[in-house]
Chain A
């Protein structure tokens, strides 16, 4: 019994039975589930196994119209006139129910999205509850938010959210809207509708008045019908920059208020005096958290040239310990790519990386035979001219670039049409402040990455969108 051993972790699957999925779901309109008018539906699959999880109704223009009408009625008759302290009670109740049902919701999220249960359990769900708790607290204090003596809700909000953090994005959208007295029609992404539909049940459990929250499922056409609906006062969208552009065009000339949270190509800047082990963790967390399906992912590593080799050696060693596989296993670090379409896009862009001469390295890991998978990957020898340094890959792929001076780091970090987030790693406090002043990004993290808090505003510059979500600033998008 001597000599080094390997300590293999036995499978530790979270139980699927904690969530009771129905075989089909309708649309949630005016407090009730109802089938779409033309009875169309689509399937949502588990990206880790390609197994069909449920049939989901596909809302057409008539369904969207019914949902908007219900939301308008609820806003005029119930939710708009209701005192803020009463609205707060509902939001607090929702937050508590989310906490009570967090295990069920986490498993559902992991099944539908492919993200590891560790993340849905320890990151997504706590943040969802935190968002509702935070904005519940604002509901009766809006006149103190610095937005005027008597700020009024906008009315009906049409909200379209992405597939990367389905329930968290729902919370980011619904919590402030409701706190401010708006009612909502929300369209979840077509590949991840399930937790929004479970959230509809949370609303019923909380006795939320009918019509305050409506969920219409569907693909792009459903979203388009929603944002173009004439009775929608406010459009909130999180997703890709091309779709954001379409929405901005669609609402141009109308009186609709718009906030857009779009793509990113964030720089994670590591100086030679960084706390290297924690920087490596931050790089890993920055790009491999949620399989890199993160709009603010640190997808460009800018490392000071004199520590490039050391950082890369540490990074590769750390990447080799990432556990890729069954998202329901409690020890999985990196789960499945959300869809075949996204996997194809990641493959196409990484192939371009090879063709343009960057050097690819992937963590040695065995990928499951079924489902959509991509090994954690990094490219070295990347220059600003490479497409993998410019385009959002939205996958577990890191492009490594170097710099020599702080000025060069800033110039390269800012040399992107995006501007959502950035990271700075250095033990020198003054340099952190110097960098933060110059980086054109909505969020600058210092010696950490991908940290979210409901009290902190989040949003982008330029092609990363406009408007802020979170914090006091997040109220501005839902008040007039």
Chain B
């Protein structure tokens, strides 16, 4: 997320024509409620149709490499040790140790207390370190703690912060509280990019997903992200579809492009390719870049590598031909 000609939303310059939207709780709620509704049946049908696209040969090879470059290789476990993080970094840099042509992933994603270690393990490599913050995954803590959590990760060298929104506040209609918190965290991020996790599995309806996505973008999010991966369901095609429509419409309205990260539950190459198809056809080709679309995943990478090896050799290998991590 470094080089791009499209202006990214540094510290939430109020979006063109939308400045008055965030002026008051009432205006914000009115705006979000006034967004076009999402018909559940129609949205799911559209996602299902896009999933029937047949991506073969050269297109598949392109898609697999692109998907690898879009991965935030993630470990978010209570059991994460130093060794685990070092392994993750090594894998992120050279996903396929036998093939130097295999691209690196976009970033490694770890808890804040592992950021420094990941940064150190990366050395001079340009790979990003992303960190979850703001009392991930529940987000149930005071703003002071959330900001300190964020600052900690940034000070330790995080390039990207994945925050969670306050779903309780959102569901009880306190949109301004959610917005203010995102604005504050964005400020605490400094130069780090901010991904805002909507935790769509807890928002439940597509209408809520669309409103939360707009809310996050109005607050200055650089990315909107589906899920923590700790709640089921995590990323789904229709949820991501609604978010892709939101970032597309937001750019049309404001000129500012926001990225989308689908996280949790995407494990196969086939699924990843379907998300790329959807991104290209719904948001547009501008989003088909690691700067604008990410997968939050751990096991997806190995399946992409197996498919990549098969494209090169013509036959399937097996789980022992990719590295455990």
In the complex, the answer to whether A277 meets B36 with C-beta atoms within 8 Å is: yes
Q: Is B26 an interface residue (CB 8 A)?
A: no
Q: Which residue of B lies closest to A8 (CB)?
A: B59
Give Cα A330–Cα B280 distance, bound, in whole angstroms.
17
In the complex, the answer to whether A118 meets B52 with C-beta atoms within 8 Å is: yes
Per-position binary interface string of chain A over residues 1-23, scored 1 when its CB falls under 8 Å from any chain B CB and 0 otherwise? 11111111111100000000000
**Interface band, chain A:** 20 to 34
Min CB–CB distance B5 → chain A (angstroms): 8
Q: Is B281 an interface residue (CB 8 A)?
A: yes
Give Cα A11–Cα B57 distance, bound, in whole angstroms.
9
In the complex, the answer to whether A5 meets B288 with C-beta atoms within 8 Å is: yes
Enumerate chain B residues within 8 angstroms of A5, measured Cβ to Cβ. Answer: 62, 66, 285, 288-289
In the complex, the answer to whether A7 meets B42 with C-beta atoms within 8 Å is: no
Enumerate chain B residues within 8 angstroms of A274, measured Cβ to Cβ. Answer: 36-37
**Interface band, chain B:** 35 or more
In the complex, the answer to whether B42 meets A448 with C-beta atoms within 8 Å is: yes
Min CB–CB distance B294 → chain A (angstroms): 14
Q: Is A282 an interface residue (CB 8 A)?
A: yes
Q: Is A24 an interface residue (CB 8 A)?
A: no
Enumerate chain B residues within 8 angstroms of A4, measured Cβ to Cβ. Answer: 285-289, 292
Give Cα A428–Cα B4 distance, bound, in whole angstroms.
42
Q: Is A205 an interface residue (CB 8 A)?
A: no
Min CB–CB distance B257 → chain A (angstroms): 10
Min CB–CB distance B37 → chain A (angstroms): 4
Q: Is B79 an interface residue (CB 8 A)?
A: no
Within 8 A of A (CB), among B42-77: 42-43, 45-46, 52-60, 62-63, 66, 69
In the complex, the answer to whether B46 meets A278 with C-beta atoms within 8 Å is: yes
Q: Is B25 an interface residue (CB 8 A)?
A: no
Give Cα A276–Cα B280 distance, bound, in whole angstroms.
19
In the complex, the answer to whether A7 meets B63 with C-beta atoms within 8 Å is: yes
In the complex, the answer to whether B59 meets A7 with C-beta atoms within 8 Å is: yes
In the complex, the answer to whether B39 meets A447 with C-beta atoms within 8 Å is: yes
Q: Is A306 an interface residue (CB 8 A)?
A: no
In the complex, the answer to whether B42 meets A447 with C-beta atoms within 8 Å is: yes
Q: Is A81 an interface residue (CB 8 A)?
A: no
Contact among A1, A7, A12 with B276 in the assembled complex (CB-CB below 8 Å): A7
Q: Which residue of B lies closest to A9 (CB)?
A: B59
In the complex, the answer to whether B36 meets A2 with C-beta atoms within 8 Å is: no
Q: Is A331 an interface residue (CB 8 A)?
A: yes
Enumerate chain B residues within 8 angstroms of A6, measured Cβ to Cβ. Answer: 285, 288
Per-position binary interface string of chain B over residues 275-312, scored 1 when its CB falls under 8 Å from any chain A CB and 0 otherwise? 01100110001111101100000000000000000000
Within 8 A of B (CB), among A335-384: none
Q: Is A405 an interface residue (CB 8 A)?
A: no
24 A-B residue pairs with Cβ-Cβ distance under 8 Å, sorted by A, are A2-B4, A3-B3, A4-B286, A4-B292, A6-B285, A7-B66, A7-B276, A7-B288, A8-B62, A9-B55, A10-B56, A273-B37, A274-B36, A275-B36, A275-B42, A276-B36, A277-B36, A277-B43, A278-B38, A281-B45, A281-B46, A321-B281, A330-B52, A331-B53
| Interface of A, helix, strand, loop or mixed by DSSP | loop
Min CB–CB distance B145 → chain A (angstroms): 36
Give Cα A8–Cα B62 distance, bound, in whole angstroms.
9
In the complex, the answer to whether B3 meets A2 with C-beta atoms within 8 Å is: yes
Give Cα A461–Cα B292 distance, bound, in whole angstroms.
51
Q: Which residue of B lies closest to A12 (CB)?
A: B54
Enumerate chain A residues within 8 angstroms of B287, measured Cβ to Cβ. Answer: 4
Q: Is B245 an interface residue (CB 8 A)?
A: yes
**Beyond A2-B3, A7-B62, A330-B52, 14 extra complex contacts between A and B, CB < 8 Å:** A2-B4, A4-B287, A4-B288, A5-B285, A5-B289, A7-B63, A7-B288, A122-B52, A278-B46, A281-B42, A282-B42, A330-B54, A331-B54, A447-B39
Q: Which 3 A-B pairs have the closest CB atoms?
A: A278-B42, A12-B54, A330-B54
Q: Is B41 an interface residue (CB 8 A)?
A: yes
Enumerate chain B residues within 8 angstroms of A278, measured Cβ to Cβ. Answer: 38-39, 41-43, 46
Q: Which residue of B lies closest to A122 (CB)?
A: B52
In the complex, the answer to whether B276 meets A427 with C-beta atoms within 8 Å is: no
Q: Which residue of A lies closest to B63 (CB)?
A: A7
Query: Contacts A278-B38, A278-B42: A12 and B285 contacting too (C-beta < 8 A)?
Result: no
Q: Is B103 an interface residue (CB 8 A)?
A: yes
Within 8 A of A (CB), among B69-96: 69
Give Cα A12–Cα B277 distance, bound, in whole angstroms.
14
Enumerate chain B residues within 8 angstroms of A1, measured Cβ to Cβ. Answer: 69, 103
Per-position binary interface string of chain A over residues 264-277, scored 1 when its CB falls under 8 Å from any chain B CB and 0 otherwise? 00000000011111
Enumerate chain B residues within 8 angstroms of A3, measured Cβ to Cβ. Answer: 3-4, 289
